[in-house]
Amino acid sequence: MKSITARRRHPLARYAVLFLALLLFGGGYAFLAPVGGKADASIAQGANAVDDIAEGKKIFEATCASCHGVNAEGTAMGPSLIGVGAASVDFQISTGRMPAAAPAAQMPRKAIAPVFELPLDQRKPGQPTIDTKKVAQVAAFIQSLGGGPTVPTDADVDPATGNAAKGGELFRANCIQCHNFVGSGGALTGGKHAPDLGKASAKEIYEAMITGPQAMPVFNDSVITPQEKRDMIAYILAVQNQPHPGGASLGVIGPVTEGLAAWVVGIGLLVLAAIWITAKRRQVND
């Protein structure tokens, strides 16, 4: 403590404090910034049986009807769900976007609502806690109302059968304007945003393309074929798993964070070095 007191009036002390503060914030951010986890894509397919539809209607009435209307016809609070299809239901519920917590410009990805989680005694460690049966029942109910895109099978979304290089080309032509070249997302108008694809599973990506959730346009199977969609999924999953040997990806959102780091940290260090090289030593008798 005494040595700090003695040195705090040192001419370089303020620069040392500035440097330490930069280091603390930079390092702290890199340490605390969320690291992309991966949701599991293996959600079992529900049979489109009559009891499923009846069961799904019950869950819908209890959970969704307050905004979407008792017959999914839509209200001032939420859009009509007639014709959106089972894929849309599966996407919205399994990414936690629905049921919504509060009305907003856009529903963010969040933890799955408790009503769609498995009871505690049926959960297995290491397995996703989503109750796939309940989700499939609601999906079957919505599908029964007016058709629409169905939930893709595991084979439909298998990234192993996709060509990541070809997918990258398609991704750059159709997706990067909103989602960024490695899927880091970006801003849209009126508080909406294109989400980060870092947590998206193969199935979610496929469902998003065929249903066009929220502001996203639709890329149906007749213009962007299922094989081309698998190519894009292979690309997105490949960039998700891309290592960053330098340690800091800086959010991979391009020149904004990279420029900020270069200007604040890089040039800050250069300024400190220049000060150190030319600083006068304080003289006792001056």
Partner 1 sequence: MTEHDENSAGWRSPKRVVGTPSPAESRYTLGQAEPPSPKTPVIEGVEPRDEGKGAERVVALCFLITFLAGIAFIVFYVMFQVGTIEKAQISNLALGGTLALALLALATGVTVWVRAIMPKYHLVQERHPLVSDEATRDEVGSTFLQGAAESGIPKRRLLRRTLLLAVAPLGLLPLVLLKDLGPLPGTVLRHTVWGKKTKEGKERRLIIEGTGNPIRAANFNSPGGILSVVPEGYEHDLNELAKSTLILIKFRPEELKAGTNKNWTVDGIVAYSKICTHVGCPTALYEQTTHHILCPCHQSTFDATDGARVIFGPAARPLPQLPLGLDAEGYLVAKGDFPVPPGPSFWERGDAEAEVRAKGGHA
Is 196 an interacting residue with respect to partner 1 (CB under 8 A)?
A: no
Say if residues 44 and 128 touch (Cβ distance below 8 Å): no
Query: Which span sits near partner 1 by CB under 8 A: 15-23, 109-117, 132-140, 274-282?
Result: 274-282
Per CB under 8 A, the list member of 194, 200, 208, 233 interacting with partner 1 is: 194
Is 218 an interacting residue with respect to partner 1 (CB under 8 A)?
A: yes
Task: Tell me the angle at which helices 86-94 and 132-146 cross, rounded to the nearest 10 degrees.
Answer: 150
What CA–CA distance (Å, rounded) separates 238 from 236? 5
Per CB under 8 A, the list member of 34, 114, 125, 243 interacting with partner 1 is: 243
Helix H or strand E encompassing 186: strand 186-187
Please give the C-alpha separations between residue 209 and each of 11, 55, 60, 251, in angstroms, as whole numbers: 60, 28, 24, 24
Per CB under 8 A, the list member of 102, 189, 255, 282 interacting with partner 1 is: 189
Per CB under 8 A, the list member of 127, 177, 260, 264 interacting with partner 1 is: 177
Query: Which span sits near partner 1 by CB under 8 A: 36-44, 111-119, 138-146, 215-223?
Result: 215-223
Please give the C-alpha separations between residue 12 and each of 3, 60, 188, in angstroms, as whole numbers: 15, 66, 45
Residue closer to partner 1 (CB basis): 39 or 236: 236
Is 215 an interacting residue with respect to partner 1 (CB under 8 A)?
A: yes
Q: Give Cα 62 distance to the centre of its chain.
A: 28
- Residues forming contacts to partner 1 in the complex (CB under 8 A) are 169-170, 172-174, 177-178, 186, 188-190, 192, 194, 212, 214-220, 222-225, 228, 243, 245-246, 276-277, 281, 283
